[in-house]
């Protein structure tokens, strides 16, 4: 269990396990083991220099290592530089807290693994009876499934269900970005609005499944033609829109 398992919490703070009774120590270790086995979270502990002195076995398995391999390594070695908002590297943020001995809560980080794993980490500095800092203790929970659900919901909110193209909301955002960029960089942008001739006749004579297939084929063709030059989307029905952020000359547009 390591020093984490040998340390118990009391109403006045954390007290070394040797001053507690053996049954209490065993009970604490049992509770920790049950919590870790539930999959709801895991515990970690570092020394004063930020290296791991305890980490749950489930974490080692998740990153494809053993607990023995992770011990005595910097905690920040497990953390990727990628963050949820891209504002600052989560590794540096975690490193800042550990080095400045500042408590932190719900720090969102991505594990340094090939597969996408996200954690919410909470920790606080630990001091001995003389007030000397000797490391951090904390717990974390796995946010991977929740973040994947959020990403999928965000994708669905911006995607046309039938064609997979950008929907009206995403097109509005793309157009806003194109206009802002045009003003900032002092260049023009272009917007195409398209609809299909006699599309209603296709639906009326061949049925809606045939009409849906036609819309998908048109979406595929437009995407192939435009490529990375712009954003193709469906406004609804048989109406499509193409936003070209930096394409405005007639020769270039005529090639499309």
Q: State the pLDDT at residue 16.
A: 47
- Exposure letters 221-230 (e unless 16+ CB within 10 A, then b): ebeeebeebb
Higher pLDDT, 13 or 253: 253
Quick check: helix, strand or coil at residue 195?
A: strand
Higher pLDDT, 81 or 166: 166
Residue 7 CB coordination number (10 Å):
20
Q: State the pLDDT at residue 81.
A: 74
Measuring CA to CA, which residue among 100, 96, 102 is closest to residue 79?
Answer: 96
Domain ranges of the chain: 2-148, 159-255
Higher pLDDT, 153 or 38: 153
Q: State the pLDDT at residue 211.
A: 93
Question: CA-CA distance, 73 to 45, in Å (whole number)?
Answer: 11
pLDDT single digits (tens) 26-84? 776 777 777 777 667 899 999 999 999 999 988 898 888 999 999 999 999 998 876 55
Q: State the pLDDT at residue 12.
A: 34
Q: CATH assignment of 2-148, given 3.90.1200.10, 3.40.50.1100, 3.30.450.20, 2.160.20.10?
A: 3.30.450.20
Can you give the pTM of this predicted structure?
0.58
Mean pLDDT to the nearest integer, 124-132: 93
Q: State the pLDDT at residue 92.
A: 60
Where are the strands (E) in the chain, listed by range?
7-10, 13-16, 42-46, 52-55, 104-110, 118-127, 133-142, 190-195, 231-236, 239-244
Q: State the pLDDT at residue 42.
A: 92
pLDDT single digits (tens) 184-242? 888 888 999 999 999 999 988 999 999 999 999 999 999 999 998 899 999 999 999 99
Q: State the pLDDT at residue 8.
A: 35
Q: CATH assignment of 159-255, given 1.10.287.1080, 3.30.70.260, 3.30.70.270, 2.30.140.10?
A: 3.30.70.270
pLDDT band at 24 (very low <50, low <70, confident <90, very high): low
Encoding tokens for residue 115? 């597969």
Question: CA-CA distance, 200 to 211, in Å (whole number)?
Answer: 8
Question: CA-CA distance, 170 to 135, in Å (whole number)?
Answer: 47
């Amino acid at each position: 269990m390591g020093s984490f398992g040998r340390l118990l919490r009391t109403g006045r703070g954390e007290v070394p396990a040797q001053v507690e009774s053996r049954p209490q120590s065993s009970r604490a270790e049992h509770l920790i083991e049950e919590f870790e086995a539930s999959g709801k979270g895991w515990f970690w502990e570092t020394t004063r220099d930020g290296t791991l002195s305890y980490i749950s076995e489930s974490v080692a398995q998740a990153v494809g290592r053993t607990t023995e391999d992770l011990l005595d390594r910097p905690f920040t070695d497990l953390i990727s530089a990628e963050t949820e908002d891209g504002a600052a590297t989560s590794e540096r943020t975690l490193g800042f807290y550990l080095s400045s001995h500042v408590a932190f809560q719900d720090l969102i980080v991505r594990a340094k693994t090939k597969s996408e794993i996200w954690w919410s980490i909470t920790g606080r500095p630990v001091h001995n009876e003389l007030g000397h800092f000797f490391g951090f203790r904390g717990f974390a929970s796995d946010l991977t499934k929740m973040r994947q659900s959020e990403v999928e919901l965000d994708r669905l909110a911006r995607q046309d269900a039938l064609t997979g193209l950008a929907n009206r909301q995403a097109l509005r955002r793309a157009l806003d970005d194109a206009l802002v960029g045009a003003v900032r960089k002092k260049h023009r942008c272009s917007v195409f609005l398209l609809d299909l001739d006699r599309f209603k006749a296709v639906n009326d004579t061949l049925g809606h499944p045939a009409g849906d297939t036609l819309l998908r084929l048109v979406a595929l063709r437009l995407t192939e033609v435009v490529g990375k030059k712009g954003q193709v989307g469906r406004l609804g029905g048989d109406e499509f829109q193409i936003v070209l952020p930096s394409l405005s000359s007639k020769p270039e547009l005529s090639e499309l």
